Structure 1
Amino acid sequence: MSTATTRSSRWRSVRGRATLGAVVAVAVFLGFGSLAFVGLFSATLRSGVEQGAVADAESAASQLESAGTRTLPDDDGRLLVLILDGRVVDRTDDDIELPDPVPGGDSFVSVVDDESVVFAREDVELGDQEYVLLAGRSLDDVDDAVGLVSILLAVAVPVLVLLVGALTWVLVGRSLTPVERIRREVAALSAADLHRRVAVPATGDEISRLASTMNDMLARLEDAQTAQRRFVSDASHELRSPLAVMRQYAEVAVAHPDRVDGSELASTVLEEGLRMQGLVESLLLLAKLDERATVVSGRAVDLDDLLLTEAARVRGAGSLTVDAGGIAAARVEGDEQLLARVVRNLVDNAARHARSTIRLACWTDGPVVRVRVDDDGAGVPIGDRSSVFERFVRLDESRSRDAGGSGLGLSIVADVVRLHDGSVEIVDGALGGAGFVVMLPAANRS
């Protein structure tokens, strides 16, 4: 990287921009402030000199009127001029040269011996004539003082601006040093280092909160990575089981054709294929839910119709008694296919664990719709009720593939319900087993 590029990148950094901003702000403030100060300082000094000239004019006029003479006093070194009808009658210094004509007004500035002098006017009545008395004071001291202050400010302002810039550069650099350290530590992390954490300074400031936030993010990434690995491992195990069964039957059929009937082989392959197909579809749905790729359509869905359909399906199997007396009109807004999957998974789970009876119910409870599925099975222990919604979780009672599903059905229920801004919980069942209660926002709720 070239030197010019390095310098340019420095000024584009937070440190460079903060320093440049501070320098520009201070320079503008001090520049305009200095100009205003010099102007005010000069005006104040000139006003003081002018007031002195007015006092001199009043004093000299009083002396002339008291003495009744036209001769100006010259013993005190004052610059005095007596004028009658624009003509100089007397003056205390022959070097006093007034502009012709004499400016009007109470005061004016003229030059005497290359010095700026401010003159004050005072009217004097001597005898029967009206005279004009001018008293002057030099502005050299004012000009010298203003010049000295201007020089001092011209030196002090750039020095102060440079000092502010240097101080800002150092302080901002020190403040950003922990941020750069955190950046380097995080940049050095790889997918295998998500267990590491950045050091949190004990300052309790924004840098400390940034480090804590980075550690929280790393913890979430580590949890997501762990869950992903576990998910892949569990999915591989679940997919391997039906494949192993089909391969086993196929190998036996090839090696001993007389031992495996063709219809039995076809039935086994079909059964395991359907199991594997359901597992793959569940995995794809969970993946879409994880990526939020599934969009809720927002259409009106009658949950009572979905429950009645599932009740008829289970009754058709003929192995369980289905109590559907608690199904009342209940409408929500959402994706009908996803909500149908929720109802089917809950009913299948209840049918899988029930001894003889399951009970289906739904009703509108103010702003929410409640769906409840009960069974008369063994129930779910309180300590396991939060874990059953995790993926590939089967309780000990249903570990076998014949008794239990893939362990994804309730996970899909939880994810779909959450996608519809609802919740699901397990309660003590009304039939002695488990009771699953889903709460969803009611359609057209106020």
Structure 2
Amino acid sequence: MRLPDPAVLARPVTWWRRQSLRFRVTAAATAVLALALAVSAYVFVAVLGEALVRRIDDQVYQRAREIVALSDADRLSDPVVSADNTIVQVLDRDGRVVDATPNTDRLVPLLPAPAREAAVRAGEPLFLDGRPYALPGTLRVRVLGADRGVTVIVARSFAEVESSLVTTGHVLIAGMPLLLALLAAVSWLVVGRTLRPIALLRRGAAEVGATARSRRLPVPEARDEVHALATTLNDMLGRLEEADARQRALVSDAAHELRSPLASMRLQLEVALSHPEGQDWKETAEGVLEDTLRLSRLAEDLLALARLDEGRLGRREPVDLAELARRTAERHGLALDLGPGPSPVVVGDALDLRRVLANLVGNALRHAASTVRIGVRADGAVAELTVTDDGPGIPPEDRERVFDRFTRLDDARSRDDGGAGLGLAIVRTTVEAHGGTVHLEDASPGLRAVVRIPLAR
């Protein structure tokens, strides 16, 4: 057997996905409503038919009970009177019709003997085709036994029930499409009004460009999901604007930092080439080398920041902070304070954490009066690394600002160039990438940098 082509089967799905959200919501709502109406109409007609049949059965049964009572009392009239077009036949013990209503046959019973006996035993009404007895349509028949072997057959036409059900079906068939069309139109309008704020958001987003970064999207008055979406998008635009401002400031500051060593190198080389006979080439080379190293450090810092901004860390491995601090203290001849208990171990990149400690130690050495101390201890579920110097310190209002990129203070802590002002920015970005925090606090005298990173589990 040949299987259907998957591409052919996928065409309706592809067509459906290409339609507008308004169309799909309206079509889906209309389809679900049509199904619900169809099921409701079917249930309604079934319940209505059952109710009408039960009503006829009750009427037939009551009429049969009346005839049985009259027969037992020997008070039956001839012919039997029936004001509601009910068909009645009274049969004797031999199965002959001894009494009947004028609207039925007085010679042929409506049911043969076996059927009559079965109906009496069952005690339930049954359907009978009346055409063989010159009666139009279907009949609802009930058979009861009376005294002296008399059998009473009572029947009533089922045509009125069928007519009612057919009429109800025609009304439903004619009315359901109109109702569906009306509800589809209402759904189309309601969905359109519901999606209007989203269309406004789309137009507002289209107007946000490179020349209108500070523009915000319209926020609807209704406190619904669209309002939450607009608020979230505006918050995102705010963050993007801040990131763009930081990026522009970074590019501007980096260009400014690059310009100084490049200008120095250019000046030294131009002077050396203009007066080669009186130039100390070794001194010129040393000066150019110093500026080149400064450019190299700046490039490395910028690359490190770019990598951290992208969330790219190196190897994730256990790092012993006590061992890291011990090596740094031995390299620089610094005092080391280790807390009690086992060495605190964190999970991270050893090179990045070594850069953090090197930047803090380098910053402390540039501004210390005489002493720099490194401290490592475990504090609950975090490892705490401190670098303390006895320098002039930093005013409290500037202790957060120094973590910004290319920030250098104008007080005694910047009495030399101290780099490009990226050291502490790299420290905070690296520590936050490891799930930790860093802050500065007063050491009385001096300043203490405190790094807290979660311990390895």
The normalised TM-score by structure 2 is 0.87
Q: Does 1:80 align with 2:88?
A: yes
> Number of paired residues?
428
Residue equivalent to 1:29: 36
Deviation of 1:172 (Å) = 0.6
Q: Report the CA distance shift for 1:9/1:174 in structure 2 as closer, same or farther (over 3 A).
A: farther
Query: Which of these residues, 90, 113, 122, is aligned with residue 144 of structure 2?
Result: 122
Task: Give me the whole-angstrom Cα distance separating, in 2, the residues matched to 1:383 and 1:399.
Answer: 15
Deviation of 1:396 (Å) = 0.6
Residue equivalent to 1:245: 264
Residue equivalent to 1:395: 409
Q: Does 1:360 align with 2:374?
A: yes
Q: Is the 8 A contact 2:72 2:147 kept in 1?
A: yes
Q: Is the 8 A contact 2:143 2:153 kept in 1?
A: yes
Larger deviation, residues 186-195 vs 79-88: 79-88
Query: Which of these residues, 90, 108, 111, is aligned with residue 99 of structure 2?
Result: 90
Residue equivalent to 1:434: 447
Residue equivalent to 2:212: 193
Deviating beyond 6 angstroms after TM superposition, the runs of 4 or more aligned structure 1 residues are 398-401
Q: Does 1:228 align with 2:242?
A: no
RMSD: 2.4
Deviation of 1:83 (Å) = 2.3
Q: Does 1:341 align with 2:349?
A: no
Query: Which of these residues, 54, 61, 67, is aligned with residue 68 of structure 2?
Result: 61
Task: Give me the whole-angstrom Cα distance separating, in 1, the residues matched to 2:212 and 2:413.
Answer: 35
Question: 1:34-433 to 2 correspondence within 5 Å?
Answer: 34-67=41-74, 71-74=78-81, 76=83, 78-84=86-92, 85-93=94-102, 95-96=104-105, 98-100=110-112, 102=115, 104-105=118-119, 106=123, 107-110=125-128, 111=130, 113-126=135-148, 130-295=149-314, 297-315=315-333, 322-326=334-338, 329-397=343-411, 402-430=416-444, 432-433=445-446
Q: Is the 8 A contact 2:89 2:97 kept in 1?
A: yes
2:64 counterpart letter in structure 1: A
Deviation of 1:276 (Å) = 0.8
Larger deviation, residues 325-334 vs 298-307: 325-334
Deviation of 1:443 (Å) = 2.8
Deviation of 1:254 (Å) = 1.0
Q: Is the 8 A contact 2:16 2:24 kept in 1?
A: no
Deviation per residue, 1:62-105 (Å, 9 max, x gap): 21221277955247564211224444343223644625464532
SS in 2 for 1:270: helix
SS in 2 for 1:191: coil
Task: Give me the whole-angstrom Cα distance separating, in 1, the residues matched to 2:350 and 2:82.
Answer: 114
The normalised TM-score by structure 1 is 0.89
Q: Report the CA distance shift for 1:442/1:91 in structure 2 as closer, same or farther (over 3 A).
A: same
Structure 2 residue runs without a partner (length 5+): 1-11
Deviation per residue, 1:226-248 (Å, 9 max, x gap): 11111011111111111111111
2:22 counterpart letter in structure 1: R
Task: Give me the whole-angstrom Cα distance separating, in 2, the residues matched to 1:120 and 1:151.
Answer: 31
Q: Is the 8 A contact 1:378 1:433 kept in 2?
A: yes
Deviation per residue, 1:163-208 (Å, 9 max, x gap): 2211111101101011011112202322221111122222222222
1:80 counterpart letter in structure 2: V
Q: Report the CA distance shift for 1:338/1:240 in structure 2 as closer, same or farther (over 3 A).
A: same
Q: Is the 8 A contact 1:358 1:373 kept in 2?
A: yes
Deviation of 1:377 (Å) = 1.1
Deviation of 1:287 (Å) = 0.3
Residue equivalent to 1:318: none
Task: Give me the whole-angstrom Cα distance separating, in 2, the residues matched to 1:393 and 1:40.
Answer: 83
Structure 1 residue runs without a partner (length 5+): 316-321
Task: Give me the whole-angstrom Cα distance separating, in 1, the residues matched to 2:293 and 2:60.
Answer: 114
Deviation per residue, 1:111-152 (Å, 9 max, x gap): 1531432222121223xxx12111222223222222221221
Task: Give me the whole-angstrom Cα distance separating, in 1, the residues matched to 2:18 and 2:306.
Answer: 45
SS in 1 for 2:346: strand
Q: Is the 8 A contact 1:352 1:403 kept in 2?
A: no
